[in-house]
Structure 1
Amino acid sequence: MAGDTTTQQTRTTQGNGPQADAAAHPMDVGMLLYEGHTTLDFVGPHLAFASAGMRVHLVSHSLDPVASDSGLAVLPTVTLQDCPADLDILFVPGGRIDEVLLDRAKLDFLAHHGRTASYITSVCTGSLALAAAGLLDGYRAATHWATRDQLARFGVEVSNERVCVDRNRATGGGVTAGIDFGLTLVARILGEDAAKLSQLAMEYDPQPPFDAGTPEGAGPDVVARFAEFAAATFGERIDETIARAVSRTLEQRAGAQS
């Protein structure tokens, strides 16, 4: 990760790559962390943003280490309360998102900053959290292929694209789509040349050893094995959590319309 610096008494991670000084007034990115996140969901975008000279804030309820779904711990740089008020980019990674879907403080954080952020974004199942916070109403969005049905339950128009951009909502598909998402957003904000420089700096030239990154490519046998793994890992918990989150979201919509 990029080196830490101190800005207005807030710890941030800011790029020290080829474009670190590209902007006189660096953009602020707020990336929400939570227990059970998938680290690769935000590391790819983090690298793209930081190498483009943006200030990246890793946000959590405290500054204690936050464990990922694989056990890797990440140090937040700012708390929910101390996050900069005017974020240019609000971002949620995927992972075991059920913890966020029922966390009032995190959903309030997303809803609050979503009212002013220039771009509201996610990768993988992070879009479920955006939907639960009411930030995808009337927008198209992408998510991990295995959770498209769950995202649709929030009333969101689900996209099968690897990176979906609908006005100022930008959402990536599963995990590795985060790099494509990050570069796409950098290009949209700072131009293609800036994105190409970031891509070259990370030598992003993917050549996967297998055509198994989608259900169509992997085939039914591999998809069935993944389904068994997902059922054993999440069981009925995610369905129950989605049902509760959807119910609350619908109630809030009805209240706002009355």
Structure 2
Amino acid sequence: MKIACLLYPNFTSADLINPITVWQFVPGVQFEFIAAEKGPVATDTGLSFNATHSFADASPTPDVVFVPGGAKPTFDALGDPALLDTIARLSQNAGWVTSVCTGSLLLGAAGLLNGYRAACHWYPREWLRKFGATPSDARVVVDRNRATGGGVTSGMDFALHMVGMWGGEASGRLIELMIEYAPEPPFGTGRPELADAATLSTARQFMAAEFSETVVDRAAQRLTASPRAATA
């Protein structure tokens, strides 16, 4: 199984680390880490990932396309036509088109979610509608060959869910045990409906500075005028 992971500057490292931590146990898996140019790509934490392939030399027929998300850097990436074109091109022949967190906004801007249900981080989730998608608050959403995870930590759930679909429930159970995935959140405020009013208000203020609906509107307008809208 060849998994094409699309990288862009300062994406959220956990969005990629969590899924590949699970998927590394899939027999025969091959990862391609794809960016505008080969070499190190910075993430939000200061860690760097090494892009093994450029947009130009990525394998044209991956089994899985995966797009991580982020905060402001993802919204910056919504204005990167080379990235969006590459996501769209590689997804044409992929068996699965997938994302975690705000990565689904990039799938939408690439013209790949029109008519599909999709998950996203809770703050900008409704903006998926601008790309013709139906937003869902589920932690993992599978609609035909589109699979999307919610916020950052959903990457582990999402990846395990996919393993179960690819190799059967026994495979998912085994990997879940091997990585000792047994979350116990200490505060229980990981979703807006669970948070107290003060915590939710503070979070919204922070998110408002990082997530821009105006940028999404512009990406949706560009998609309408782009060949991707007709071919995706």
Same fold (TM over 0.5): yes
User: 1:116 deviation in Å?
Assistant: 0.4
SS class of match (1:216): coil
Q: d(CA) in 1 for partners of 2:228 and 2:34?
A: 30
Residue 219 (structure 2) pairs with residue 242 (structure 1)? no
Give the Cα separation in 2 of the matches to 1:81 and 1:256: 22
Q: Which residue of 2 aligns with 1:117?
A: 94
**Unpaired stretches in structure 1, ≥5 consecutive residues:** 1-26
Match of 1:148 among 110, 113, 125: 125
One-letter amino acid matched to 2:107? L
Q: Distance in 2 between matches of 1:63 and 1:187?
A: 32
**Residues 197 and 233 from structure 1, CA distance in 2 versus in 1: closer, same or farther, beyond 3 angstroms?**
same
In 1, the alpha carbon distance for the partners of 2:65 and 2:85 equals: 13
CA RMSD of aligned residues (A): 1.7
SS in structure 1 of the partner of residue 223 of structure 2: helix
Larger RCO: Structure 1 or Structure 2 (Cα < 8 Å, ≥ 6 residues apart)?
2
Structure 1 segment 64-75 matched on structure 2, within 5 A? 64-75=39-50
Give, in whole Å, the separation in 2 of the partners of 1:56 and 1:150.
30
* Residue-pair matches, total: 228
What TM-score, normalized by structure 2, do the two folds share?
0.93
1:201 aligns with 2:172: no
Specify the alignment match of 1:76 in structure 2.
51
Q: 1:38 aligns with which of 12, 16, 30?
A: 12
Matched, 1:172 2:149: yes
> Structure 1 residue 99: deviation in Å?
2.5
Cα contact 1:49–1:56 (8 A) shared by 2? no
Larger Rg: 1
Question: Equivalents in 2 of 1:243, 1:193: separation in Å?
Answer: 43
Label 1:185 to 1:255 Cα distance change in 2 as closer, same or farther (>3 A). closer
The structural deviation recorded for 1:255 is 7.3
Aligned equivalents of 2:165 and 2:229: distance in 1? Answer: 35
Q: 2:24 aligns with which of 50, 54, 58?
A: 50
Aligned partners of 1:209 and 1:254: how far apart in 2?
44
* Change in CA separation of 1:233 and 1:241 when aligned onto 2, cut-off 3 Å: closer
Please state whether the residue corresponding to 1:218 is helix, strand or coil.
coil
- Cα drift, residue 231 of structure 1: 2.8
Residues 215-250 of structure 1: CA deviation (Å, up to 9, x unaligned): 11112211110112123345xxx2332121010122
* C-alpha spacing 1:51/1:134, structure 2 compared with 1 (3 Å): same
- TM-aligned CA distance change 1:244 to 1:117, over 3 Å: same
Structure 1 window deviating more from structure 2 (238-247 vs 114-123): it is: 238-247
Partner of 2:67: 92
> Any idea what the Cα deviations from partners look like across 1:79-126, whole Å, max 9, x if unmatched?
111211210000100012123211111111111111100000000000
**Contact map agreement 1:137 1:155 (CA 8 A) in 2:** yes
User: Percent identity over the alignment?
Assistant: 42
Q: Which amino acid aligns with 2:194?
A: G
Could you tell me whether the CA contact under 8 Å between 2:114 and 2:133 is conserved in 1?
yes
